[in-house]
Amino acid sequence: MADAKNQKTNAMRILDRKKIPYRANYYHCDEFIDAVRIADLLHQSYEQTFKTLVSVGKSGKYYVFVIPIHKELDLKAAAKSVQEKSIEMLHVKDLKEVTGYIRGGCTAIGMKKDFPTVIDSSFADFEEIIVSGGAIGVQIFISPENFLLATRAKTEHITVT
């Protein structure tokens, strides 16, 4: 995101409107780079940095899962957490239309609709977690409690062990 400094994303405007505290971090990035590589470049913990995944259930409903960047989503556990028989990952080409966000800038905060959201229970191990800020080159540092407040997410163990 060129000249991202001081630019507010939709996610930040929502947090501001709800008076939910967070810190923004801007970094130079012009295109999608996977979250593990970004964490390496910024010297950030994989465990504390979370990625946002969007799926579609057998019912046709959309669901959001937030997991540590170095882990994989356990599709069976994720489906069970949202009372679906099965789920599959949303195709990248459909991400912007469904969520309003692009790959590398997707966050559970401020999607086009309020989709049921589940965050991996490991997030509670931290005073602050790092999530996408809603645009490439922007991160949000937020307490687990405030993330739950902003997203109305529930917590479950949803990663492959």
Q: Is the pLDDT of residue 118 over 50?
A: yes
Q: CB 85: neighbour CB atoms within 10 A?
A: 9
161 within domain boundaries:
no
Mean pLDDT of 1-6: 48
- Is residue 14 very low, low, confident or very high in pLDDT (cuts 50, 70, 90)? very high
16 within domain boundaries:
no
148 within domain boundaries:
yes
CB 27 within 8 A of CB 38: yes
93 within domain boundaries:
yes
Give dist(CA 3, CA 77) in Å, integer.
40
DSSP string, 36-79: HHHHHHHT--TTTBEEEEEEEETTS-EEEEEEETTS-B-HHHHH
| Tens digit of each residue's pLDDT (9 = 90 or more) over 75-113 | 999 999 999 999 999 999 999 999 999 999 999 999 999
| Tens digit of each residue's pLDDT (9 = 90 or more) over 31-87 | 778 899 999 999 999 999 999 999 999 999 999 999 999 999 999 999 999 999 999
18 within domain boundaries:
no
- Is residue 1 very low, low, confident or very high in pLDDT (cuts 50, 70, 90)? very low
Q: Quote the domain boundaries for residue 32.
A: 23-156
17 within domain boundaries:
no
pLDDT of residue 29: 82
Estimate to the nearest angstrom the gap between the alpha carbon of 128 and the chain centroid. Answer: 14
Nearest alpha-carbon partner for 20 in 111, 138, 152: 152
User: What CATH number is attached to the domain comprising 90?
Assistant: 3.90.960.10
DSSP string, 90-116: PPGGGHHHHHS--TTS--STT-SS---
88 within domain boundaries:
yes
Number of domains observed in the structure of the chain: 1
142 within domain boundaries:
yes
- Is residue 6 very low, low, confident or very high in pLDDT (cuts 50, 70, 90)? low
Question: Which pTM value belongs to this model?
Answer: 0.93
Q: Is the pLDDT of residue 5 over 60?
A: no
Reduced to 3 states (helix: H, G, I; strand: E, B; else coil), residue 20 is coil
Phi/psi of residue 110, each to 5°?
Answer: 85, 35
